[in-house]
């Protein structure tokens, strides 16, 4: 495959990026074996790149009542609702890795209501998709329902904020026509022996 | 009016905020005469606060082919499409100030298609609302249409990215039930003599 | 501003109108200080003008369990749902005046669910918006819910009928591209001292 | 069948109605052989009754570039879009009578795009349904398209105003749960010999 | 009327059809007095014809907890939701015949929620329309609600499967632009004496 | 994984099925190494099973201007629009196998507009999704557009009929809560060496 990583805006070459951004890209490459295209394409605007990943890290790396896999589920379910090619494929891969479950990402992407999830996780995704698609109708009655499933107010902020951040991310990926790296499609599909 | 600034999560007191955040709030207060509630409510999560405002500044303060008023139009039109109470009222005020036009914000909020805007500005808002509501259907044919109105590729990124950032912001404001300060409702309605 | 009051159909001059219509316009002008454009534009068809205002007066001037401000809330909320430029701006002004509240109209226009309203008023607007957007799904179960908030059957008719009348009015304003008078934007924003 | 004419509000008895309204009902009964339920149910509020029928007569009885059958087509198509039981059945009958065509009403009610209509009539209904469902998006480009089919500006007002009046009527019928008279179902189905 | 039975694909002549299909058409003609156009138009592809009618007969002729009239109600209600000209008109006729009720088909077609049906039948149609329009959201909670109305699991399969088969049928009729025979419009409107 | 193949209706055991159905299941098992759950779950109703697979074979095995991979694309794209868990996963696998492309199924499932497809294939899927979601608006103008991409009328029938058949299939799978076999998730992801 020699498809461009994104078709509508230039992709900067790694060696001409600001030091902090190049360092981050090389660290990711070291860890994953490739540079996810979201890093390359967003680096076209360094300040926006830095803000996006600062936001991402604040939510995805923090201590939370949500597991890392659950946070990825939110991304996959809401990105599927927005038909975001990049985010469903890339975060689907990450979800498989974190959940150590080769089936879960495709299930959540097609229809999370039928996925192999706990009632608590389905309630989490119901709320995340509401934030993604109908945030104007969020109301006070949503909160006790989530608390009944054991979510704290901090957890609810996390659910909502992740859905909100990927509302941004989905729109940027759709704007840029960002292409997921081929590596993501198979990542985590076969449990490592 | 003694309504709380937001009803679902705690609002930190200014004197207990991290130094950089408190400094920013006091600077805004100095300039505007009040602290917009978005600063108070998002400061509950300092790292997310910093990322949000870094993103905001990267887009709203940069040199751009879009005027400051046009960038606010994008925020008002897309926030109205998302029924975001805080963003329509607060950024409506800022739009009136930048555009020196007491009517424009309400017009854009109700139906930008009928507002006193140039065809170029309506094309800009058509695309911004597409990014806000139907980003999956953005296609290559959208770009030459925008270029015909004189928008460069950098401008198109700006239109899309502002719509994307406020997709995030609208969802956070709806999650938190953020309340616009009373001051915003009248700001810019009467041209200063 | 020298924008035309409506762009798609002729606007008759006041001195050539039938006597009864001219008399009504002059009375409104006497009271308000200006002639709202809805009077000028609808006067193009005198018989329809007379029927519209007869309907309007029958609902808006009658003794009702709904206050005058509440009736205007119905108009603003349903007209916002229909993105009717004229009705949101003009009746927003009247709402501010009747409610003696400079904030309420913008709140109801953006998202009445988050406005400073009583639960009874929110239930009233939930039903009004249902009539405006999904009247085919009105069912018997809606009625006891409204009665629990203290609405009589007469009140329910009033809510529904006002939403229905402005379903007509919004469509006519959108057809004609009716322009709200500049005066409406500021009316009632500053409490008179 | 002994179903009530409407289930949610009282239906006044004819002999207790104001003179002008009773006279109108008796005239209709004389002409049609029965009193259509819209007359009985709306007579519950005499002033609104008078305004509604004044509006109706102003549009439906005036000289117009639209035939009487075409005006009824607008009512049937937009009432079907609103799933209004009364208006589709009752005006479907009137359409059959005016058009002297036993098939046309059912065709227009199910999907006017596939009905036995001229391209001019389909363009008329496209616009009427736009007014009924998406009036906020009416724009200047709609007008030359209609003029190409031979519609004058007066005709366009008529199309829009009839769609607007029945936006009101459909909502009232759905609010009241108005029941069409059994007579309407067969009227005009068999050409008189 | 000399309209073609369908406008976009050829309609085979009866005498050139495979024997089994011609036999079925002649049997229907014998029984009904005319050949419904669905037989003529689908016969263009004999294998698909055979599969469709095998599916149809399996569902519509089987012993079921649903009466034949109830099964036709499902077809009329879901076909109206899909705006399928052929199916609403043709199966509306069959519904009138089976139900021995000249009003019911038009009522179900316009808005089954207001038709002269039992609560059980309305619950059946609520579920059928959910299958037709929002099948992704069918969930386990739908089943006990239907069982409370006396539907067995076999009945629920029947409701869902009929809605599913006519999801296919509606799309084929819309693809082909299939025209209902004129005979259907009046069938069953006058009770036979 | 020991999840049931479907949760809402019984799944018959293979040895108690009618001979013809058991033979078909064993043949599939022989070829694929497992029995796809759609065979097991639909076999609960033998007559409907036979009709469904007769329809399937008539469309999917016939000589056609559409390749086998293109026919599977139609299934994946329309099933994703209907959020059908079973069909997206199972037919996604078959699409990968026929297309010898490990990426294409996920791309088509998330957003076919951004998949690695030819303009002809995107036009095919635009029409298939229109049949799936908005078949009432199919019009004569759709046909020349498809012919410009080289589709014959027979091909157009095939596109529409496959979309129609899977409109049925998606609804049955959602009704039954049919579960895709685990084998489908990895099938065709790694090109055979």
Q: What is the pLDDT of residues F53-104, one digit of tens each?
A: 999 999 999 999 999 999 999 999 999 999 999 999 999 999 999 999 999 9
Q: Can you spell out the DSSP letters for chain F?
A: ----SBSSS----GGGS-HHHHHHHHHHHHHHSS--HHHHHHTTSHHHHHHHHHHHHHHHSS--SS-HHHHHHHHHHHHHHTT-HHHHHHHHHHHHHHHT-SSHHHHHHHHGGGSS--HHHHHHHHHHHHHHHHGGG--TTHHHHHHHTT--HHHHHHHHHHHHHHHHHHHHHHHHTB---THHHHTTSS---
Q: What is the pLDDT of residues D40-65, one digit of tens each?
A: 999 999 999 999 999 999 999 999 99
Q: What is the mean pLDDT of residues D79-87?
A: 97
What does the pLDDT read at residue E2? 53
Enter the DSSP assignment of B178: B
Q: What is the pLDDT of residues A125-146, one digit of tens each?
A: 999 999 999 999 999 999 999 9
Question: In the structure, do chain B and chain E come into contact, i.e. share 3 or more CB pairs under 8 Å?
Answer: no
> With an 8 Å Cβ cutoff, are A131 and B174 in contact?
yes
Helix (H) or strand (E) holding C94: helix C85-99
Name all contacts of E28-35 with Cβ < 8 Å and 24+ positions apart. Answer: E32/E183, E33/E183, E34/E181, E34/E183, E35/E181
Mean pLDDT score across all residues of chain E? 95
Q: What is the mean pLDDT of residues B133-149?
A: 96
Mean pLDDT score across all residues of chain F? 95
Residues B122, B116: Cα–Cα separation, whole Å = 9
Q: How far is F10 from chain E (nearest CA, A)?
A: 10
Q: What is the pLDDT of residues C103-117, one digit of tens each?
A: 999 999 999 999 999
F113 touches B at CB < 8 Å:
yes
C1: confidence class by pLDDT, cuts 50, 70, 90? very low
C134 touches E at CB < 8 Å:
no
D81 touches E at CB < 8 Å:
no
- The sign of the CA dihedral A109, A114, A116, A122 is positive
What does the pLDDT read at residue E192? 54
F1: confidence class by pLDDT, cuts 50, 70, 90? very low
In this complex, the residue of E1, E110, E189 whose CB is nearest that of residue D88 is E110
Helix (H) or strand (E) holding A54: helix A46-60
In this complex, the residue of D54, D171, D177 whose CB is nearest that of residue C51 is D54
Q: Quick check: A178 pLDDT over 80?
A: yes
Q: What is the pLDDT of residues C3-46, one digit of tens each?
A: 677 778 999 999 999 999 999 999 999 999 999 999 999 999 99
Q: Can you spell out the DSSP letters for D127-189?
A: HHHHHHHHGGG--TTHHHHHHHTT--HHHHHHHHHHHHHHHHHHHHHHHHTB---THHHHTTS
Residues E21, D32: Cα–Cα separation, whole Å = 48
C111 touches A at CB < 8 Å:
yes
F193: confidence class by pLDDT, cuts 50, 70, 90? very low
What does the pLDDT read at residue E191? 59
Helices and strands in chain D: count of H runs, count of E runs: 10, 0
Q: CA of D130: how far to CAs of C133, C170, D139, E139, in Å?
A: 14, 13, 11, 34
> With an 8 Å Cβ cutoff, are C139 and E113 in contact?
yes
In this complex, the residue of D45, D51, D82 whose CB is nearest that of residue C136 is D82
Question: In the structure, do chain A and chain B come into contact, i.e. share 3 or more CB pairs under 8 Å?
Answer: yes
Best of A77, A81, A113 to disrupt the E interface (most E CBs within 10 Å) is A113
Nearest residue to B175 via CA among B67, B45, B55 = B45
Mean pLDDT score across all residues of chain B? 95
Enter the DSSP assignment of E157: H
E46 touches D at CB < 8 Å:
no
Q: Could you tell me the pTM of the whole model?
A: 0.95
Provide the CA B56 distance to its chain's centre, in angstroms. Answer: 9
If you compute the radius of gyration of chain C from its CA atoms, what whole number of angstroms results? Answer: 17
In this complex, the chains that touch A, judged by 3 or more CB pairs closer than 8 A, are: B, C, E, F
Residues F45, E164: Cα–Cα separation, whole Å = 15
Terminal-residue alpha carbon distance, chain A? 28
CB pairs under 8 A between C and E: 4
Q: Tokens standing for A29? A: 């490459």
What does the pLDDT read at residue E5? 74
ipTM for the complex shown? 0.96
Q: Do the beta carbons of residue F62 and residue F55 sit within 8 Å?
A: no
Enter the DSSP assignment of E174: H
> With an 8 Å Cβ cutoff, are B186 and C102 in contact?
yes
Q: CA of E180: how far to CAs of E4, E12, E17, E190, in Å?
A: 10, 17, 21, 19
B8 touches A at CB < 8 Å:
yes
> Quick check: helix, strand or coil at residue E63?
coil
What does the pLDDT read at residue F192? 54
In this complex, the chains that touch F, judged by 3 or more CB pairs closer than 8 A, are: A, B, D, E
Q: How many CB atoms lie within 10 A of CB E71?
A: 23
C58 touches B at CB < 8 Å:
no
Q: Quick check: F191 pLDDT over 70?
A: no
Nearest C-alpha in A relative to B155: A9
Q: What is the pLDDT of residues F144-162, one digit of tens each?
A: 999 999 999 999 999 999 9
Contacts of C139 in chain E (CB under 8 A): 113
Q: What is the mean pLDDT of residues F105-109?
A: 98
Q: What is the pLDDT of residues A101-115, one digit of tens each?
A: 999 999 999 999 999
Terminal-residue alpha carbon distance, chain C? 28
Q: Do the beta carbons of residue F53 and residue F24 sit within 8 Å?
A: yes
D1: confidence class by pLDDT, cuts 50, 70, 90? very low
Q: Quick check: B132 pLDDT over 70?
A: yes
Q: Do the beta carbons of residue F59 and residue F165 sit within 8 Å?
A: yes
F160 touches E at CB < 8 Å:
yes
In this complex, the residue of A50, A58, A175 whose CB is nearest that of residue B138 is A175
D139 touches B at CB < 8 Å:
yes
Residues F167, F176: Cα–Cα separation, whole Å = 14
Q: Do the beta carbons of residue D11 and residue D180 sit within 8 Å?
A: no
In this complex, the residue of A84, A110, A114 whose CB is nearest that of residue F109 is A110
What does the pLDDT read at residue F2? 53
Q: Quick check: C192 pLDDT over 90?
A: no
Q: What is the pLDDT of residues C147-190, one digit of tens each?
A: 999 999 999 999 999 999 999 999 999 999 999 999 999 999 97
Residues F113, E33: Cα–Cα separation, whole Å = 49
B145 touches D at CB < 8 Å:
no
A111 touches E at CB < 8 Å:
yes
Q: How many CB atoms lie within 10 A of CB E173?
A: 29
Q: How many residues does chain B have?
A: 193
> With an 8 Å Cβ cutoff, are B107 and C114 in contact?
no
Q: Quick check: E193 pLDDT over 50?
A: no
Q: Give φ, ψ of D101 to 5 degrees.
A: -140, 115
């Amino acid at each position: 495959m020699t498809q461009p990583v994104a078709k509508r805006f230039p992709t900067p070459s790694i060696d001409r990026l600001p030091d902090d951004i190049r360092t981050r890209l090389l660290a990711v490459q070291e860890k994953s074996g490739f540079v996810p295209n979201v890093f390359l394409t967003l680096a076209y605007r360094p300040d926006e790149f830095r803000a996006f990943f600062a936001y991402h890290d604040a939510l995805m790396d923090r201590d939370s009542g949500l597991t890392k896999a659950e946070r990825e589920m939110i991304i996959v379910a809401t990105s599927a609702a927005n038909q975001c090619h990049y985010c469903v494929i890339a975060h689907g891969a990450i979800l498989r890795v974190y959940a150590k479950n080769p089936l879960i990402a495709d299930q959540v992407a097609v229809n999370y209501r039928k996925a192999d999830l706990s009632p608590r996780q389905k309630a989490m995704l119901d709320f995340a998709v509401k934030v993604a698609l109908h945030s104007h109708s969020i109301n006070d009655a949503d909160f006790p329902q989530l608390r009944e499933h054991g979510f704290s107010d901090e957890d609810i902020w996390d659910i909502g904020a992740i859905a909100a951040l990927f509302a941004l991310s989905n729109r940027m990926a759709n704007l840029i026509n960002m292409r997921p790296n081929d590596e993501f499609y198979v990542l985590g599909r076969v449990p490592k022996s």
